[in-house]
Structure 1
Amino acid sequence: MLKTVTYINDMLTRLLEVLITLLMTGMVVFIVMQVYFRYVLAQPLSWSEELAGYLFSGVFFFGAVLLYRESRHINMSLFVDSIKNPFVRQIIVIVAHLLSFLFLAIVVWYSYPMALQIIDFEVVSPSMEWLKMGHVFMIVPVASFLSLFMLLEVILKSIAQLKEIRQ
């Protein structure tokens, strides 16, 4: 199972790296456009700053997905590293990952219906009437779901390490 999850996560990682690159590129382009239109042409764009903010949200949340895979989120490493027994240390790491998994599952459970409800309300962006806010809000459940999948790989690897320590 670990090999399958790792293979899928490898593909997701490549896809997310491309997506984040595109989002960041778009963000830079729209911000440069805003500066040019505001200060050179004296005709500021009403939508570019807002769109850049939404793109930043995508960079933030999808970047967090990649951090789960690398186990680079903020944690209590000082506490964990102070535990001398490697078996107990690994148990605590697994419990922490499981609690993160539970938290992300709750986020998906509650944020997905909320985003769908916002889509149904047909709330649109104040400066871009073509952009439904529900689609922007959908970033949270999608990124949280992808984080669950990345965290599953981390948990499976941690359990495999626990088995090695036990032997």
Structure 2
Amino acid sequence: MASQESLRQAFLGFLAAREDSCARSCEAGHLTASAVVLDADASHVLLTLHPRVGRWLQLGGHCEPSDESLAEAALREATEESGIEGLWIEPEPVHLDVHPITCSLGVPTRHFDVRFTVRAPRGAQPVRSDESDDLRWWPVNAMPPGSEELTELVAAAL
């Protein structure tokens, strides 16, 4: 947990230093919001096969000017990418991560990703969007090969 506290302090410093820290045009890096979508029993997690990254990941993305909070951005992204209505979000973040990426700017940058737990209503069936090569429920204790880095994140969400 010490590394999460160190990341929290780094995020706060970045936010204090950059007024544009939530805008994807901020080339130094920008905040993003992710959603660990769990089913009603918290026995399955919804993962997307990301087309550019080529790996199974949690749902999420960039903040939009209309988002009033990171939690709102995470819930909006989860709803858009899952096609599931009636999702609800835990308002406190459960995990932080910083990773290098070349996103829509086309230049190397960093995502300061703030991750939230989102719950789906019982029986929710996801509908894949154009932002995904595949979208499916995975048992929380048997996620797809190559997704080992999500173990800590899913555990934090649970």
**TM-score (normalised: structure 2):** 0.32
More strand as a share of residues: 2
- Which of the two has higher C-alpha Rg? 1
More helix as a share of residues: 1
**TM-score (normalised: structure 1):** 0.30
